[in-house]
Amino acid sequence: MKKDDGGHMPAFPGVGARRKSRDIYLEHYPGASLRELFAGLALIGLIVAVPKIPDGDIARQAYGLANAMLQERKKEE
């Protein structure tokens, strides 16, 4: 089952250029999902608040908080 990623509007999408020989190619970068953005922001808060959480646990907690934020967001729609 696919996790809710927060919808179709990614955070920080963009276009970049890549050079191969003399040619330049434009590449689309889809950006981070809203879930990934929420997890990253939660991760920063967790690291600052509780700096001794093991890496795997802190990542799980960050995504757990992101999932909770997405659920709360759905309630307000």
Q: Write the CA distances from 32 to 8, 9, 20, 36, 52, integer angstroms.
A: 11, 9, 26, 6, 27
**Model confidence band, residue 5 (pLDDT cutoffs 50, 70, 90):** confident
d(CA 31, CA 13): 4
How many domains does the structure of the chain reveal? 1
Dihedrals phi, psi of 52, to nearest 5 degrees = -105, 20
Tell me the residue range of the domain where 73 lies: 32-77
When pLDDT is averaged across residues 54-61 and rounded to a whole number, the result is 86
In a 3-state reduction of DSSP, which class is residue 11? strand
Look at 3-7, 18-22, 45-49, 54-58 and tell me which has the smallest mean pLDDT: 3-7
Asked if residue 9 is part of any domain, the answer here is: no
Asked if residue 14 is part of any domain, the answer here is: no
Asked if residue 37 is part of any domain, the answer here is: yes
**Model confidence band, residue 68 (pLDDT cutoffs 50, 70, 90):** very high
Please give the pLDDT value at position 50: 78
Asked if residue 58 is part of any domain, the answer here is: yes
Asked if residue 3 is part of any domain, the answer here is: no
Asked if residue 56 is part of any domain, the answer here is: yes
Asked if residue 68 is part of any domain, the answer here is: yes
Asked if residue 75 is part of any domain, the answer here is: yes
**Secondary structure (H, E, C), 23-48:** EEEEEEECCECHHHHHHHHHHHHHHH
